[in-house]
Amino acid sequence: MKKYIALLCACVLLLPAAACGNNGSLPSGSQDAASSAETTDASQAEPPAAEITLVNKMTETERSRVSRHGLTLLDPPPEAEPAAEAPQPDTAPKVEIEFHTITIEELREYAEYARKEKNDSEYEELLAWIKNAEETGEGLSTYAQYVLVDGVMLSYPLPDETAFTEGNPFGLVSSSMGEDEKIESTEYSFDTMEDYLSHIREDSIENGFSEAEADLEAERMQIAYDAYLGKTYETLPEGTVDPSDLSLYEGGSGEYVDYRDKWEYDRSEVEAIRDAVEEIEIYDEEMRTDFLVHVTLPPDYDSSRAYPVFLLTDAVWRFGNVPALRKLIAEGEAAPVLLVTLGYGYNRDGAEGDGRYNDLVIERDKLLDFVTDNLMPYLGECYRIDYAASTLYGHSDGGVFAHNALCKSDLYENQPFGKYIIGSPALWGLYNYLDHFGNSAAIDEVLNDYGYFDRNEKMNKTVFLCAGAQEDPDYADSYNGRDTTLEGVEKLKNRLEAHGADLTCKLYESHHYQYIPEMLTEYLKATYPGAAAD
């Protein structure tokens, strides 16, 4: 189903390998990584004075929803529960609505988007209206953000009471992410409710629904609209509805959507390390998202000892690399670390482009809040962690996130990582989004590395920047006149080197993602050298 965004105002390169520096070598093992590989006895069990600790900023709700257990990836999907009994014909449908009051920040974001659509006079008038709303609180509108009919959430926005009146048709904008990571938007306007319901039926069928399902979607909209106008609905407190809860879209049928088949891994390899893997289900209120974290313990794990964390985003693909990485540790080619992957629960498609792009790119600041102030401190409560020696990895959209995390790390009290891997950062995907909203100032901020070197003389983190030397043609249709992936990597490298950052850069003879297993193996052995490396 397409994602709809209601209008906020109803009125309204191939590069030579040498070009990336350091002769393509990886960082050598640092002293902190080497020391973490030493065996500790009981007299060394207490944390050293200089050991970093983090402050856990999880809310009570977030803590109450944490679940920590063994690996379930290899388990068969849970059986569907019996379908809920259909309501009796004489039972009035239950309509529940969670409202949201548009904030000043959201209005300013809308103004940036509307800038290219308005003349100077109209734009100044809009800014004056926003300023008045900021000063007086007047004019801030409230709309139905989430609407449930008998527990099923509507997929289309609910018109308000002023819609379909003379001179005030109901308008909305449909926005979706194309395969080339360009945002595509279509504006619609409906003079009557019948026109809108016809659109819902047609659009639902176009998106793969049956005619019966499309009719039911339209019927629910009519029921909700009548309840809204008649004030026969129940108001839900803001924050009640979790839009990532797929049961809200399944109509309470008990059907369980399972995406284990999307995960890329060798079953026999994972089976061999099953007892070393723990799963943590952890919810973030700010993002309203359930995450699934896999923590793979090293052989001979000692709970009294501090280990670095090697955190890999995109668990749907990267957990499949964990068995090979753990084998390096077992064979002494790498020092013991906690191999951690961050992804989504099995009831969400972690390989799906829109959701991944939204969290890693558009909502990268919220995700950074979660990783920095929730996830990593929580892991520190479960395991002893050497944060200074820990690494955050991200690739493609994850590379955009890793760049953001690196360059905003100084803004946080918590310092969970001393090392960062930025792999093939698809910064052009971020630029496409910002260009769509005419936000050139935000693009300048990214190109200035989020102002890190305006705030700091030197970067106190270690950075490994990498890409595939053959990957630029892979997304040739997506650059829109801006830097290609490799051009962006080269410019980022030059900026970091100009500021004396502890940087290693390497290009692999590969396309966009094929080099990742080789890179992770090399990085683990070089950054956390094992006894066999001596």
Contact assessment for residue 423 and residue 399, using Cβ atoms and an 8 Å cutoff: yes
Half-sphere exposure in the Cβ direction for 387 (13 Å, CA) = 21
Residue 115 pLDDT > 60: yes
The gap from C-alpha 29 to its chain's centroid, in whole angstroms, comes to: 30
- The 3-class SS string of 55-79 reads CCCCCHHHHHCCEEEECCCCCCCCC
Sign of CA dihedral 183, 186, 187, 188: negative
DSSP 222: H
Percent of the chain's residues with pLDDT above 70? 82
Query: How many angstroms separate the CA atoms of 199 and 521, rounded?
Result: 52
pLDDT tens for 36-87 read: 333 334 334 444 446 899 999 999 999 999 999 999 999 987 765 544 444 4
Class of domain 3-12+14-36+59-75+259-533: alpha beta
Regarding pTM above 0.85, the answer is no
Structure token pair of residue 294 = 């896999």
Q: How far is CA 307 from CA 38, 129, 312, 371, 389, in A?
A: 11, 54, 16, 18, 8
Kindly indicate the confidence band of residue 453, based on its pLDDT and cuts at 50, 70 and 90.
very high
Give the residue-averaged pLDDT of 312-338.
Answer: 98
Residue 15 pLDDT > 50: no
Q: Lowest-confidence range among 163-177, 201-215, 337-351? A: 163-177
pLDDT tens for 387-415 read: 999 999 999 999 999 999 999 999 999 99
Higher per-residue pLDDT: 220 or 82 = 220
Q: Look at the block and give the residue holding tokens 């906020």.
A: 8
Query: How many angstroms separate the CA atoms of 471 and 242, rounded?
Result: 38
Q: Lowest-confidence range among 24-38, 294-308, 481-495? A: 24-38
Contact assessment for residue 93 and residue 223, using Cβ atoms and an 8 Å cutoff: yes
The pLDDT of residue 173 is: 72
Q: Name the amino acid, one letter, at 289.
A: T
Residue 277 pLDDT > 90: yes
- Could you tell me the residue ranges of all domains in the chain? 3-12+14-36+59-75+259-533, 95-102+141-248
Query: How many angstroms separate the CA atoms of 203 and 333, rounded?
Result: 55
The pLDDT of residue 30 is: 41
- Rounded (10°) CA dihedral 125, 128, 132, 135: 160
